[in-house]
Amino acid sequence: MAPFGKIYSYPGNFRVQRAQVVAAVNGLEVPLTENFQMRVTNQTPEFLAKFPMGKVPALECADGFCVAEGGAICTYLARAGPKAAQLLGADAKTEALIAQWSYFADTELIPSILPPAVMVLMKLIPFDEARYEKCAADTLRALKCLEAALQGGKKYLVGDSLTLADIMVSGTLFAATKFLVDAEMRKEAPNVVAWLQGLAALPEFEPLGELVLCETRTKA
């Protein structure tokens, strides 16, 4: 079967990995483009004609349809396959709850996780202790919200099957548990840890790689 489309991005981008999990659940193949160079490929006239903001990830489908922004890519891939109703919800209320958690991943988790990553992993900005600790506190607050939602050992955030909500949130946390969500923080969220471990065992989650649980936070 020919690929459904291709994604432009640098390797290891968790936004791409989330999209590839969605695609795997829906039986779609969306590989990364070869020889992509950040700030080179995405600044060419050809790229900007398709994606005017020059941002990645960016999805170009086999039929010529193009869409950017990680959340929009994931939603489109969820809608484009046979498991659309499962992934996005079969009724308005379920759809709203799935969207709520998907937005939670991008508006609560990512803004808390990215600054520490840029400081201590990518080293693109100087280490700022106060900002780092504020981000860690915000991450813990978000984890406690998830912990409450997963009380009773729930396997999924919405309903009784895997949805886009699980993929969007866990895909972000798979990145965070490597360097920020340490053992001390995880003590506050045992249900979240169990939920992540259950998802990690699913073959469709292979694009996210191994679930790594750091013992102590990475600092500069």
Please indicate, yes or no, whether residues 200 and 93 belong to a single structural domain of this protein.
yes
Indicate the SS3 state at residue 55.
coil
Are residues 93 and 194 both part of a single domain?
yes
How much is the pLDDT for 1?
Answer: 66
Q: Do 14 and 172 contact (CB within 8 A), yes or no?
A: yes
| pTM of the predicted protein model | 0.96
Q: State whether residue 145 is helix, strand or coil.
A: helix
Judgement on whether residues 102 and 30 belong to the same structural domain of the protein: no
Q: What's the DSSP call for residue 8?
A: E
Q: Name the stretches of the chain with pLDDT < 50.
A: none
Q: How many domains does the chain have?
A: 2
* 219 in any annotated domain: no
pLDDT in tens, 193-202: 999 999 999 9
Condensed to tens digits (0 to 9), the pLDDT of residues 113-156 reads 999 999 999 898 999 999 999 999 999 999 999 999 999 999 99
Cis peptide before 57 (omega within 30 of 0): yes
- Residue 220: its pLDDT value, please? 75
- pLDDT of 52: 97
Q: Where are the beta strands (DSSP E) in 26-173?
A: 58-61, 66-68
